[in-house]
Copies of this chain bind each other. A is one copy, B any other.
């Protein structure tokens, strides 16, 4: 078995759950079919297994370091990224007119996940580059697109996103980086940016920083933020990287995990003029940046799911091959020990991993598919509905996997016992890597406020109504399916409580009280969404079993078991959480700073 992918599961999601087959009939995707999609995934798997996975442990043990003012990375990183670029994976999701393969986003997400599962530290560079290129494609001028996109899509220049600052963190209203207009229409950028992944490296020919900064005289707070392209090296007359642009590496952050990606503190314009060019309109920078941030949030969620998957596959393989102990009804020490996968508590640890990881992958694939459906939907109203749904689900798709696939990684260590706690096995690394995902690209708490403070409230709750409609269609179908009708009823009950809880909270006049338990709400909403995803997968599994020749029986039965696990062991938790939210519990809100330890 592969340690980075269950290809059967990806095919199941694409063709049996989402219906990629029908999407590929659309003119936009002509030239693609099931065979070409499989070829893309095959190629990704080959490169990921050959160039990304083998150096993952070494990269973790040999984190990026400063050497003579430059960043040293082990040479395998550049080799892997070259293979990735040469295979065309930077461009895969872009439209043909930009030199891309015009693949559906769901395919590029899943293909990218193979690299991320094999080595998240290396996979971050193309991930950020593609997101930056997408932003330029959406908001850049034709001239900016012409200069920056070709080298980025060829994987010769990498991209970054520069939002946080040392003093500001999540509080973008307080960023202090300034952009001072120059006579030629460009801007002199001055300030420091913190937590910049890929902010410095020697692999790509240039680095394209997308920087949030304030033009003096603009409105205060987030309304005065503009977006700039700031290359590490200025472009010469032919558009090639030329002289330095005074983006200075101040320091590297030394992290618990995710060590393959350089993470930096950068200074712009300290050593001399640092020139940037405006993207979009002045003071509209945050809206533009959200284009990149939303994509990055889906990507972070998928990265979390991939770390979870890596742990699930590894611990499953270990559990099937490690003999130890006997079953409770057979304690005779003369009998041979069983494989530990036979112990029910090990099965529980594996089943929880499966339910979390495959549930998360299912939700994220659904989100990417919403993007694809938007591309082929003519009706503006239907398109707006798809866009709303994606907006609603984005904070969940970012946060739920970050929380529960980390829990999956905790379980993977537990399956291996003491061995899992050592660096002889990779599961401790997956756990360390995954802990980042609830922090970057907007913390768990920031996502919660986005969901409850914004997403469920916009357009009089239209997005939530749309989501509920989707769950109801699935429940309706499952009600008529033996074995699944109970789950359908449970999903309806959870959705109903979610709805009344939301209404009750939104009706409260005080913003602080309304948001006091937003994180509980986010977690509970996530569980409801994943329950819905599992019911869809269960319906597809029932169909598959009815259709199949028996070769896939274990696969489909595993899906039904994981669905049952989620409905029995996980979904019931949401009622206790939503009760706290619905009562607008003020326990945390009213606690004063001196009460935590009494002084």
Residues of B within 8 A of A414 (CB): 438-439, 443-445
A510-530: CB near B (< 8 Å → 1, else 0) gives 111011111110000000000
Judge if A324 is at the interface, Cβ distance under 8 Å: yes
Instruction: State the CA gap A51–B222 with chains docked (Å).
Output: 48
Specify the chain B residue showing the minimal Cβ separation from A348: B588
Contacting residues, chain B, for A597 (C-beta < 8 A)? 1, 6, 8-9, 313, 316, 354, 555, 558
Interface residues on A, range: 35 or more
A420: shortest Cβ distance to chain B, in Å?
Answer: 7
The CA of A575 and the CA of B555, in the complex, are separated in Å by: 32
Q: Which of B253, B345, B518, B558 contacts A591 (CB 8 A)?
A: B558
Q: Render A428-463 as a binary contact track against B, CB cut-off 8 A, 1 for contact.
A: 100110011011100111001100010000000000
Q: Which residues of B contact A557 (CB under 8 A)?
A: 592, 595
Give the residues in chain B near A313, CB-CB below 8 Å: 597
> In the bound complex, what is the Cα–Cα distance between A329 and B509 (angstroms)?
11
Q: Does A561 contact B (CB under 8 A)?
A: yes
C-alpha spacing A6/B597, complex, angstroms:
7
Check A599 against B555 for contact (C-beta < 8 Å): yes
Closest chain B residue to A340, Cβ basis: B169
**A413 interface residue (CB < 8 Å to B):** yes
Beta-carbon contact of A1 and B599 below 8 Å:
yes
Contact partners of A588 in chain B: CB under 8 A: 344-345, 347-348, 351, 565
Report which residue of A346, A418, A443, A589 has the largest number of chain B beta carbons within 10 angstroms of its beta carbon: A418
Q: In the bound complex, what is the Cα–Cα distance between A520 and B518 (angstroms)?
A: 27
In the complex, identify which listed stretch (A230-238, A471-479, A579-587) lies at the interface while the others stay far away: A579-587
Stretch at the interface among A86-94, A242-250, A331-339: A331-339
Cβ of A374: which chain B residues have Cβ within 8 Å of it?
none
Cα of A155 to Cα of B409 in the assembled complex, Å: 39
Chain A residues proximal to chain B, CB less than 8 Å: 1, 6, 8-9, 164, 167-171, 173-174, 194-195, 220-222, 253-257, 313, 316, 319-320, 324-329, 331-334, 337, 339, 341-348, 350-351, 354, 406, 410, 413-414, 417-418, 420-424, 428, 431-432, 435-436, 438-440, 443-445, 448-449, 453, 510-512, 514-520, 552, 554-559, 561, 564-565, 568-569, 572-573, 575-576, 579-580, 585, 587-599
Given contacts A164-B418, A255-B422, A328-B511, 15 further A-B contacts (CB under 8 A): A8-B597, A171-B325, A173-B333, A221-B331, A253-B424, A316-B597, A344-B516, A346-B445, A350-B596, A410-B435, A418-B440, A552-B598, A561-B591, A572-B580, A573-B573
